[in-house]
């Protein structure tokens, strides 16, 4: 016998959620949640792992011991901290320096994922990644520039010396199947997820 059903029922009640709302959050049906809570069924391993990850709890804690209200109250504090951490990461993730082997991207200093916020952009689609260089000779380099002002960001063929201006030295297009680049990006994403913010 496991404590899974009683534990998720406590978690759901402390959060003030109905079975349907809780099921929707976990991509399950209300009937499945009900059968777990009543002890009529146990979750599959994949479902248990997904629920534990969603609740940011260890699977052992969910199934092997009854959780107390005090433990779950701390769980909500942790949940708030995780939410704040994700917001901080999301805000900082938009524009960041690239640190890769120099021979791969010798002229690249920054990268930026294209979003609909970039105006005058007939060239790039959402999710494309612009490879940028800030330190360049303005009179020698011809090409496209990403210009960032306090009001907007836009792409131009003429550099603007009065504003934050980056030379676009390349682009990783999101609609191309480039297995090497996808592999690198997946590894970077995995590393980002495993790092903790102090």
Residue 184 φ/ψ, nearest 5 degrees: -65, -45
pLDDT, greater one: 10 or 168:
10
Q: Could you report the per-residue pLDDT of 29-53, keeping only the tens digit for each?
A: 999 999 999 989 998 888 888 888 8
CATH T-level topology, domain 4-89:
434 Repressor (Amino-terminal Domain) (1.10.260)
pLDDT, greater one: 182 or 52:
52
Q: Could you report the per-residue pLDDT of 140-149, keeping only the tens digit for each?
A: 667 788 888 8
Burial status of residue 145 (CB atoms within 10 A of its CB: 0-12, 13-18, 19 or more): buried
Q: With bands split at pLDDT 50, 70 and 90, how would you rate the model's confidence at 128? A: confident
Domain boundaries of the chain, sorted by first residue: 4-89, 95-194
Q: How many residues does the chain have?
A: 198
Q: What confidence score (pLDDT) does residue 38 get?
A: 92
pTM exceeding the 0.95 threshold for the entire prediction: no
Distances from the Cα of 14 to the Cαs of 8, 54, 60, 105, in angstroms? Answer: 10, 16, 20, 51
Q: Could you report the per-residue pLDDT of 66-77, keeping only the tens digit for each?
A: 887 766 665 555
């Amino acid at each position: 016998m496991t404590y899974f059903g009683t534990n998720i029922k406590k978690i759901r009640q402390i959060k003030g959620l109905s079975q349907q709302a809780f099921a929707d959050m976990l991509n399950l049906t209300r009937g499945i949640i009900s059968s777990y809570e009543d002890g009529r069924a146990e979750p599959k391993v994949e479902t248990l792992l997904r629920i534990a990850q969603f609740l940011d709890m260890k699977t052992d804690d969910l199934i092997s011991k009854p959780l107390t209200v005090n433990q779950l109250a701390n769980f909500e504090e942790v949940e708030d901290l995780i939410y704040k951490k994700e917001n901080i990461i999301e805000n900082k993730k938009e524009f960041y320096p690239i640190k890769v082997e120099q021979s791969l991207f010798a002229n690249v200093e920054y990268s930026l994922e294209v979003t609909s916020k970039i105006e005058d952009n007939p060239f790039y689609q959402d999710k494309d990644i612009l490879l940028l260089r800030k330190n360049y000779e303005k009179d020698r380099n011809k090409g496209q520039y990403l210009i960032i002002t306090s009001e907007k960001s836009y792409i131009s063929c003429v550099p603007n010396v009065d504003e934050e201006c980056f030379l676009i030295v390349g682009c990783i297009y999101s609609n191309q199947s480039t297995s090497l680049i996808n592999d690198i990006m997946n590894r970077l994403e995995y590393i980002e997820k495993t790092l903790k913010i102090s």
